[in-house]
A and B are shown apart, each in its own frame.
Chain A
């Protein structure tokens, strides 16, 4: 059996985080890298979880297609609202406002996925601008649904297709999704009683958070990545890395399910 690749390792690691009965939200980030990380990997992980320990998990594609039959797709959708998705077999569809936003505010959504131009050591994320807000070096797309993702969802997985010091910074230029400034106590003072980032997946490692002090820390390093490489690619201090384990490898059963049942045509996860 072929050795697991990076995408398969991340997908299986993520699948272990998703619980029976939960509701998950994937949006449609496009651009090959971001789409792969923030859409394809989450969809594959959720389907793997459904086929194993979480048969009644619900996953939403593009934020409105509930439990789609992904094996019917001939190509990855690159459009949120077209006939192809409308006519894809699934359990339920949200037709839009005010339907699914109500579920968001009630706290129905247990987990979601985000990516951004910058992430900082507190878990804040930025998709608004690089540089000063009123005189930006680069104006980006705007906050979109990030403020909601980082507060109204039960937990958020940050999915970064690239891991470098330009993206992993000490402090983001603009907070459009709130992490843990001042830790959990800090969030409570801000009126945020739940939610927040849980893990950060990158091509080099998985981060989790010390939520009490509100700092990101390395949970595991992917096979073949050195501690020095990780430090060079990260714009904030990572602390000691000596006791950090290597990311868990998928077992043979998981790989077989992933390759034969979840993604038999290699649409979600590249095989190379």
Chain B
């Protein structure tokens, strides 16, 4: 054998990575509530005018609200859409009340289990606690059955089955090895489950580092390269949501967003200013400004 091939880099631009998402796809977006959503990627989906997407999620917030307001979504399957301490999600609320967005509600733990079902290649996840809940009345995808071993009343819940998963993580290398700090919390743990639930996994990271550096911390690599389809360097890529140990949430920006989102007209202006009107993520960060970014920055003692 005299053929010597180079290992292929999976380093991708934000534009090319977002182009991997097709209109009508079922997309799972990492993060939780107001924490660590891959917002730079979400903005790029909006710039590329994606249509008829289904977001399949667990606990959603900024991600689903802005995609709803930009007209990218047809359907959302999740347990929560809101802004936690900031209140309800205005675009989401308006669209559901107007009948423009189909919402399929799932209980929170089952929303997590649906991704675990996909990870394990199960055709359904069993639930034993749904009797009497109106979630059954509005969700024909959940089917009753009796446990074949005990006869116990149970319900088969469909797997999350995403076409594409996108998460935002701390560090990765160009081959798609992705490191998650050991002092992680629920949002980061769920991101890892998401990344194991699908064959098309896009990871945006705060920083691309050398493979040598990654190899010195292999115990922290929760997503090995073979699972990753594309890796994108997107510093402050979760802004205005928080990134554990790296930066806090930009509360002032979120409040300005929520004020704008009260009316479709003002929200259009917000999108023009921060999404359509900027040529990519770096220009977005310029617009947010160094002073704000430095104020939000956290310096963890150790990973």
Residues in chain A within 8 A of chain B (CB atoms): 28, 30-31, 64, 78-83, 86, 94-99, 101, 104-105, 128-129, 133-148, 151-152, 174-178, 181, 186-187, 189-192
Contact = CB atoms under 8 A, between A and B. Distances in A.
Contact of B85 (A79, A101, A146): A79
Given A95-B189, A128-B105, A135-B99, A174 B134 contact: yes
A82 to B, nearest CB: 6
Given A101-B109, A145-B79, A64 B131 contact: no
Contacts of B34: 79
Contact of B138 (A95, A133, A178): A133
Given A99-B189, A101-B109, A191 B153 contact: yes
A98 B116 contact: yes
B133 A176 contact: yes
A80 B84 contact: yes
Given A96-B185, A143-B108, A147-B133, A82 B152 contact: no
A147 B59 contact: no
B78 A142 contact: yes
B184 A96 contact: yes
A95 B88 contact: no
Nearest to A136: B97
Interface string B182-207: 01111111100100000000000000
A142 B80 contact: yes
A141 B107 CA distance: 12
Contacts of A144: 59, 79-80, 107-108
Interface residues on B, range: 35 or more
A96 B107 contact: no
Contacts of A176: 105, 133-135
Interface in B51-109: 59, 78-82, 84-85, 87-89, 92-93, 96-97, 99, 103, 105-109
The prevalent SS among residues of A at the interface is: loop
B132 interface: yes
A140 B185 CA distance: 26
Contact of A147 (B129, B137, B188): B129
Given A97-B190, A98-B116, A147 B244 contact: no
Contact of A96 (B78, B79, B189, B249): B189
Nearest to A77: B85
Given A136-B97, A192-B132, A145 B107 contact: yes
A83 B184 contact: no
B216 to A, nearest CB: 23
Given A82-B248, A137-B97, A178-B131, A30 B85 contact: yes
Given A139-B103, A177-B133, A190-B132, 8 more contacts: A104-B109, A129-B96, A133-B134, A140-B88, A142-B82, A143-B80, A145-B109, A174-B134
B300 interface: yes
B208 interface: no
A175 B105 CA distance: 12
Given A98-B116, A190-B132, A142 B79 contact: yes
A31 B86 CA distance: 8
A246 B298 CA distance: 51
Contacts of B93: 138-139
A218 B37 CA distance: 45
A137 B98 CA distance: 9
Interface string B290-301: 000000001010
A180 to B, nearest CB: 9
A186 B184 CA distance: 42
A145 B109 CA distance: 7
B184 A95 contact: yes
Contacts of B154: 191
19 contacts: A64-B185, A79-B34, A79-B242, A81-B187, A82-B248, A83-B248, A86-B185, A96-B184, A99-B189, A129-B96, A136-B96, A136-B97, A138-B97, A140-B88, A144-B108, A147-B133, A175-B133, A187-B131, A187-B132
A81 B244 contact: yes
B122 interface: no
B152 A30 contact: no
B184 A147 contact: no
B29 interface: no
A83 B190 contact: no
A261 B56 CA distance: 45
B190 A96 contact: yes
Most buried by B among A81, A137, A177: A81
A142 B105 contact: yes
A186 B297 CA distance: 53
A31 to B, nearest CB: 7
Contacts of A143: 79-80, 105-108, 133, 135
Nearest to A188: B131
Contacts of B244: 81-83, 86
